[in-house]
Amino acid sequence: MMAAVQPFLSGAISKTVNLPNESTIDDVRQIYEEGWRLGLKAVALYRDGCKASQPLSTSSGDSVAPEEPESQAVVKQAAPAPLVRPGGRRVRLPTKRRGFTQEARVGGHKVFLRTGEYEDGTLGEIFIDMHKEGAAFRSLMNCFAMAVSIGLQYGVPLETYVEQYTFTKFEPHGVVEGHPNLKFATSIVDYIFRVLGVEYLKRYDFAQVQPTETPSIEDPTTPRFEEAEAPEPPALPVAHAEEQRAGSKHGALDAQLEEMMGDAPFCDSCGHITVRNGACYKCLNCGNSMGCS
């Protein structure tokens, strides 16, 4: 179909060839070669299941997805064993419990996330505080946190909440400031459950920056060592100096793009500002295309 239309157009056709999950490298090669024989100027491919979230899926919920090779599978560390809760009974947290407090900004809006844990370290409650928002929005977020906390105490798995609420999109959303691993969120709710997925389930596929092996909360009993003063770096070679100048030009370009593309969305992969590309938006940082099919 694309080849039938191509002779009447001066540019390429923006249409994606959708492939099933079991497609191989040879299948991709065959499609590109066929597009070349038919005189197409461009061919876009998408293999089902290649992204963590996709708008459409043709696979049945009852079908069993083929096992991915170990090199392509997303590495997920095993979460701690959950506390056994009797069915239909609420297990309350101890009166004195551990947890953490995370301060961050999502799209310029400050949000505090606090957690409470059982003695085995599993999550039992959350608190969401956005004190600068309106009373109605702040109250709704508090009630939402209470509902999630009660569900956790009745035995609803945290995985269920994380899968349900990540990638939820509404205002405010945008760049995340203050969290070392999350740099972009589609909503406050998306940010909260990304944090919980990373911290408690080790779901590092939700993080834009992969965390290190060091714990997120420092143990006060751990001995600390003073870092030695770093020596002054030597003068950069000419090639490196050119790279630094290019980097400063790239920063100036980012600022100019932010002024010109004020209504453009942020990239859903890396959080960088996008630019219009025909009827779509394209990220100049990672090359991701938004809205094209």
Helices 188-201/158-165 angle, 10° precision: 140
Burial of 268 (0-12, 13-18, 19+ CB in 10 A): middle
Lowest-confidence range among 92-106, 130-144, 218-232?
218-232
- Which sequence spans correspond to the domains of the chain? 2-47, 101-206, 259-293
Looking at residue 272, the DSSP 8-state letter turns out to be P
What pLDDT is stored for residue 98 in this prediction? 92
Distance CA 291, CA 280 (A): 5
What pLDDT is stored for residue 245 in this prediction? 59
Distance CA 85, CA 91 (A): 7
Contact status, residue 15 vs residue 2, Cβ threshold 8 Å: yes
What pLDDT is stored for residue 71 in this prediction? 47
Average pLDDT (248-269) is 60
Per-residue pLDDT reduced to its tens digit, 173-227: 889 999 988 989 999 999 999 999 999 999 888 888 887 754 444 555 555 544 4
Distance CA 126, CA 196 (A): 10
Average pLDDT (229-238) is 56
Candidates 170, 177, 179; CA nearest to 197 is 179
100: pLDDT strictly greater than 60: yes
- Tokens describing residue 257: 């793009």
Q: What is the pTM of this model?
A: 0.48
Residue 153 Ramachandran class (φ > 0 left, ψ -120 to 50 alpha, else beta): alpha
Lowest-confidence range among 38-52, 101-115, 219-233?
219-233
172: pLDDT strictly greater than 80: yes
Residue with tokens 């609803």: 156
